[in-house]
A and B are shown apart, each in its own frame.
Chain A
Amino acid sequence: MPEENKKSLTLSVKKLRKSFGPVEVLHGIDLTLRGGEVHAILGENGAGKSTLVKILSGFEQLSDGELHIGESSGNSQRIDVWNNSIAEQAGVVLIHQEFNLAEQLNVAENIFLGNEIKGRVFLDKKAMRAKAQEYLDILRSDIDPDSPVERLPVSAKQMVEIAKAQAKNARVLVLDEPTAVLTQQESQVLFELIDRFRQEGVAIVFISHKLDEIEQIADVITVLRDGELVGSYPAAELSKDDMARLMVGRELSSLFPEMPKVPAAAEIVLRVSDLLLQGNSAPSSFELRSGEILGFSGLIGSGRTALMETVLGLRRPAKENLGRVELRGERVDFKQLSAARNKGVAYLTKDRKGSGLLLEKGLTFNFSLFSLHKISKLLIDTKLEEIAFEKAVETFDIRMKDKSIVAGNLSGGNQQKLLLAKILEAEPSIIIIDEPTRGIDIGTKSQIYHFIGQLVASGHSLILISSDITEVIGLSHRVAVMYHGEISGVLEGEEIEEVEIMRYATGLKNKVSPQIKQNGTSNAKA
């Protein structure tokens, strides 16, 4: 365990440059990390944050510039050879954006991976398990140290990564977007832990797109823009507005677009009544009106995605399901996503890398994959395909070095825009979007919000699942909140407000509509 008298570390880079092939992505960065400070790094997607922290932790080599390391601020020395194992020996630990866990091993084994506690001959499994439990307890996490990592939800994996950092006795802890997959409560626990590390003299690097979080925990803020250093500032001197302005380099127009009102008489385009999901006891009901954005809020794992995937035919409902799904009054039972697509319903997955885009395939290939039926009879009309793609690049402002790159080489924000273009190319009238702006910089976020605004204005109806509460509040006409697999309330007008949503999301309040109650009781008997 870290001791209080541990000597803190100062790690700094001077005029750091980094090139990949002929392309320089970092143009002379100066940065100093000091023990006992939380150093936030801010920047839009593609600004070079991840590359910078990979260099700091030895996963990438710097192309030019100097790296200094010192026990205290006085006597720092220049380091010539800096790689991952040297960095780890010095106590620099990076928690990757994409996790670095051995999926088949259990939690305790992962926490001590490469850092095992040994008995005389064999590994001391008992000691590792006990220690792992201790680390998890500090995180107030109820993850079972014996559970295989592959069975854990994303947020739990993040917690395991953090526990792993504790085991490594970190002196510089680098967190690359740790809260992107955490709920607000989990994030708060993480912040308490960061605070504890800070008091112990650990230097912490923190990357996040959530400005609230940065305001809450950062001591120093460094802003990058297009690989250039904008500057390093004491956190107290910057407001959230300042942060956003420095990142983008221009004044932000309003983040959310003006939304047209939904007329009270608007047609109900999608009605889900008493749909019973697998592994759930309570059925779900909701309706979506034409031209409306229905937000879905709730904690991670509350069943929002499962509900939508069941509606769309990506999952089967529970065997004893008696509920139904109606599309403009017509009953449907989608067994394949293609059936839903052909009826004008599309789904934008929250997992853009795992389920959204083929990262090793080209942009056009990805773009047309969901709507090939539109451009082919016997053969695919590649001319039409090319024209449609060019148009989408323009409409959605997809930025790339050149058109022949693969999707995996786009920045996160541009991947998300490509994914949105891919889904919309099928011309759906009902669009279910799941976490559309996760891990995306504020400039692209605003763009995506405006696309959503245009969709609604042109008569589309949307369901918006998001863990970003400001986003749900800023965009939705009504908000359905889910708790433990059921819709605990549908909020309208004045009720749509952060604290109220959290009450429903955490089970403090539950106003199930009368019709569900009826069926809920009949279901409880079954």
Chain B
Amino acid sequence: MPKLDLKTAGPFIALIVIFIIGVFVNEAFLSSGNLSNILARSSFIGIVAIGATFVITAGGIDLSVGSMAAFISGCMILLMNALMDSIDSMVVIIFLAIIASLGIGAVAGLINGLLTTKAKIEAFIVTLGTMGIYRSLITYIADGGTLSLNFTIGDVYSEVYYGVFLGLPYPVWVFLGVAIIGYVLLNMTVFGRHCFAVGSNESVARYSAINVDRVKTMTYMLQGICVSIATIIYVPRLGSASGQTGILWELEAIAAVIIGGTVLKGGYGRIGGTVIGALILTLIGNILNLTDAVSNYLNGAVQGIIVIVAVYLQRGAWRRD
């Protein structure tokens, strides 16, 4: 349709406006170092948020992602440190840790999924519970302190975060890859259609021969895998994990999804919007760092305002059609 669709174009326009503000705020904003930093930083929340787009589209919610990321980071570091004694090749150790990370993410998602579908507990409660469990497990494993990755492995692994391909850091490429796969999966496959249908009306989905429980569980597993991918590129950045790792990721991820135009009650989701949402959130933080006009401590407040305004605009746009 030739008419401008505010629902689709809105987040994109907001991104451009915020970008332009950034340009005026500080010359350093446009430096290639700053821009690639923004992209790299947004990839963690972005990847998690792509998983969250599936969960929310199918009518669920996952609050456990931040704790899950911390827990997986801890497991990866413990595993890599332990393998140091028996395996010589750093690359093999890192590879094994990545496989383990994906496995833990998938299983953690499966648990969330089964508890919501088979035990029939509301997703909010299930993931509130697992959020506490993972957070407390990582604190316990780290004995209240910090788990640090062995420096020898850290040196090799840091390439995953700091390495550059065609001018862009690796995490950005991973983000892009996950986004493309997510887009295709949500918009062009049977599974994606089923996510929309389940989130829109479970009863209709059931009477349309859709295995509702399986679709929902799959979305939580996808979420777990996305958390694991984000963790895989996050661990080399700091080389440590603690009870403070991944704090509030769940809220930032949900915020990115909502800013992007996905509907919180389910039935409608947009991967492209989620990517833009993650970029907007990171941009705001970055711009506040570069300016004295607004305190950096108000980052959360500005993000909160953006979420509320975004949803307000979306609702308004709906009422008109």
- The one of B200, B209, B211 in contact with A358, judged by C-beta atoms closer than 8 angstroms, is B200
Q: Which of B192-213 contact A (CB under 8 A)?
A: 193-194, 196-197, 200-201, 203-211
Instruction: Return A183 CB to nearest CB of chain B, in Å.
Output: 24
Cα–Cα, bound, A380→B196 (Å)? 14
Q: Which A residues are in CB contact (< 8 Å) with B208?
A: 337, 369-370, 422
Assess whether A360 is interfacial by the CB under 8 Å rule: yes
The reply to whether the CB of A509 lies closer than 8 angstroms to some CB of chain B is no
Assembled-state Cα–Cα distance A449/B39 (Å): 60
Residues on the B chain within 8 Å of A380, using CB: 188-190, 193
Query: Which of the residues B189, B194, B204, B267 comes within 8 Å of A355, measured between beta carbons?
Result: B204
Q: Which residues of B contact A517 (CB under 8 A)?
A: none
**A–B complex contacts, Cβ < 8 Å, 20 sampled:** A337-B206, A337-B208, A338-B209, A338-B211, A354-B201, A354-B204, A355-B201, A355-B206, A355-B207, A356-B204, A357-B204, A358-B197, A360-B200, A361-B197, A369-B193, A369-B205, A376-B190, A379-B189, A380-B193, A426-B209
Q: Decide yes or no whether A272 CB sits under 8 A from chain B.
A: no
Task: Answer whether residue B91 sits at the interface, using C-beta atoms and an 8 A cutoff.
Answer: no
A378 in the interface (beta carbon within 8 A): yes
B267 touches A365 (CB 8 A): no
Nearest Cβ on chain A to B208's Cβ, whole angstroms: 4
Contact A372 B207 (CB under 8 A): no
From B184, B193, B211, contact of A372 by CB (8 A): B193
User: Which A residues are CB-close (under 8 A) to B189?
Assistant: 376, 378-380
**With A337-B209, A341-B209, A376-B190 given, can you name 19 additional A-B contacts, CB distance below 8 Å?**
A337-B206, A338-B211, A351-B203, A354-B203, A355-B207, A356-B204, A356-B207, A358-B201, A358-B267, A361-B196, A361-B200, A369-B193, A378-B189, A379-B184, A379-B189, A380-B189, A380-B193, A404-B1, A426-B209
Q: Mark A166-196, 1 if CB is under 8 A from B, else 0.
A: 0000000000000000000000000000000
B-contact bits for A322-352, CB 8 A (1 contact / 0 none): 0000000000000011101100000101010
A426: shortest Cβ distance to chain B, in Å? 8
Q: Indicate whether A373 reaches chain B with its CB closer than 8 angstroms.
A: yes
The answer to whether A336 touches B204 (Cβ under 8 A) is no
Which B residues fall within an 8 A CB radius of A?
1, 184, 188-190, 193-194, 196-197, 200-201, 203-211, 267
Chain A residues positioned under 8 Å from B206 (CB to CB)? 314, 337, 355
| Bound: A372/B195 CA distance, A | 13
Residues in A whose Cβ lies below 8 Å from that of B197: 358, 361, 369
B residues near A370, Cβ cutoff 8 Å? 208-209
Expressed in whole angstroms, the minimum distance between the Cβ of B240 and any Cβ of chain A is: 40
Q: Which residue of A lies closest to B192 (CB)?
A: A380
Q: Which of A231-281 contact B (CB under 8 A)?
A: none
Contact A338 B210 (CB under 8 A): yes
What is the bound-complex CA distance between A355 and B202, given in angstroms?
A: 8
Q: Interface residues, chain A, CB within 8 Å of chain B?
A: 314, 336-338, 340-341, 347, 349, 351, 354-361, 365, 369-370, 372-373, 376, 378-380, 404, 422, 426
The residues of B that contact A379 with a CB separation of less than 8 Å are: 184, 188-189
The distance in angstroms between the C-alpha atoms of A311 and B196, with both chains bound, is: 27
B194: chain A residues at CB < 8 Å are 372
Whole-angstrom distance between the alpha carbons of A274 and B207 in the complex? 25
Closest-CB distance, B214 to chain A (whole angstroms): 9
A-B interface contact total, Cβ < 8 Å:
66
C-alpha gap A43/B200 in the complex (Å): 32
Q: Which residues of A contact B193 (CB under 8 A)?
A: 365, 369, 372, 380
A314 x B201 contact (CB < 8 A): no
The answer for the CA separation of A404 and B5 in the assembled complex, in Å, is 14
> Which residues on A sit within 8 Å (CB–CB) of B184?
379
Per CB-CB distance, the 5 closest pairs between chain A and chain B, nearest first, are: A338-B209, A337-B209, A355-B207, A369-B208, A341-B209
In whole Å, how far is B100's beta carbon from the nearest beta carbon of chain A?
Answer: 29
Residues of B near A349 (CB, < 8 A) are 207
In angstroms, Cα B190 to Cα A376, docked, is 7
Instruction: Kindly provide the distance from the CB of B34 to the nearest chain A CB, expressed in whole angstroms.
Output: 38
With a 10 A CB-CB cut-off, give which of A340, A359, A369, A380 has the most chain B CB atoms. Answer: A369
Q: Give the CA-CA distance A426 to B190 in the complex, in Å.
A: 15
Interchain nearest-CB distance for A195 vs B (Å): 38
Asked whether B209 lies within 8 Å of A336 as measured between CB atoms, the reply is: yes
How far does the Cβ of B190 sit from chain A's closest Cβ, in whole Å? 5
Alpha-carbon distance A361/B196, docked complex (angstroms): 9
- Alpha-carbon separation in the docked complex, A193 to B307 (Å): 54
CA distance A356 to B201 in the complex (A): 10
Beta-carbon nearest neighbor of A379 in chain B:
B188
Within the assembled complex, what's the spacing in Å between the Cα atoms of A369 and B206? 11
CA distance in complex: A338, B211 (Å): 8
Instruction: List chain A residues, Cβ under 8 A from B205.
Output: 369
Q: Can you name the residue of chain A whose Cβ is closest to the Cβ of B200? A: A358
A349 and B203 alpha carbons, distance in the complex (Å): 11
Interface centre among B190, B203, B208 (most CB of A within 10 A): B208
Q: Nearest Cβ distance between residue B9 and chain A, in whole angstroms?
A: 17
Minimal beta-carbon separation of A521 from chain B (angstroms): 36
CB distance from B215 to the nearest CB of A (A): 11
Q: How far is the CB of A378 from chain B (nearest CB, A)?
A: 7
List, in ascending order, chain B residues with CB within 8 A of A355's CB: 201, 203-204, 206-207
In the complex, what's the smallest C-beta–C-beta distance from A366 to chain B, in angstroms? 8
- For B203, the chain A residues whose CB sits under 8 A away are 351, 354-355
Q: B204 contacts A358, CB within 8 Å?
A: yes
A360 to B318, CA, bound (A): 12
Complex Cα distance A491/B206, Å? 33
Least Cβ–Cβ distance between B11 and chain A, in angstroms: 20
Contacts of A422 in B (CB 8 A): 208
Residues of A contacting B201 with CB < 8 Å?
354-355, 358-359
Contacts of A336 in B (CB 8 A): 209, 211
CA distance A259 to B197 in the complex (A): 37
Q: What's the Cα separation between A360 and B266 when bound, in Å?
A: 12
Chain B residues, CB < 8 A from A338: 209-211
User: Which residues does chain A contribute within 8 Å of B267, judged by CB atoms?
Assistant: 358, 360-361
In the complex, residue of chain A having the shortest beta-carbon distance to the beta carbon of B207: A355
- Contact residue among A337, A361, A373 (Cβ-Cβ distance under 8 Å from B207): A337
- Cβ-closest chain B residue relative to A339: B209
Residues on the B chain within 8 Å of A426, using CB: 209
Q: A338-B209, A338-B211, A379-B184 are in contact. Are A373 and B204 (CB under 8 A)?
A: no
Minimal Cβ-Cβ distance residue in A for B263: A360
- Residues of A close to B204: CB separation below 8 A: 354-358, 369
> Which residues from chain B contact A360 at a C-beta distance below 8 Å?
200, 267
Report the nearest B residue to A372, measured CB to CB. B190
Bound-state CA distance A521–B220 (Å) is 49
- Residues on the B chain within 8 Å of A354, using CB: 201, 203-204
Residues of A contacting B209 in the complex (Cβ-Cβ under 8 angstroms):
336-338, 340-341, 370, 426
Measured in the bound complex, the distance between the Cα atoms of B210 and A369 in whole Å is: 9
**Neighbouring A residues of B200 by C-beta, 8 Å:** 358, 360-361
Say yes or no: A365 contacts B188, CB within 8 Å. no
Name which residue of chain A comes closest to B193, CB basis: A372
Which chain A residues lie closer than 8 Å to B196 at the CB level? 361, 365
CA distance A185 to B197 in the complex (A): 38
In this complex, what residue of A is CB-closest to B214? A336
Across the interface, which residues of B come within 8 angstroms of A373, CB to CB?
190
Please give me the residue from chain B that is nearest to A342 by CB atom: B209
Find chain A residues with CB under 8 A from B207 CB.
Answer: 314, 337, 347, 349, 355-356
Write the nearest CB–CB distance from B166 to chain A, whole angstroms: 28
Q: What is the bound-complex CA distance between A359 and B200, given in angstroms?
A: 9
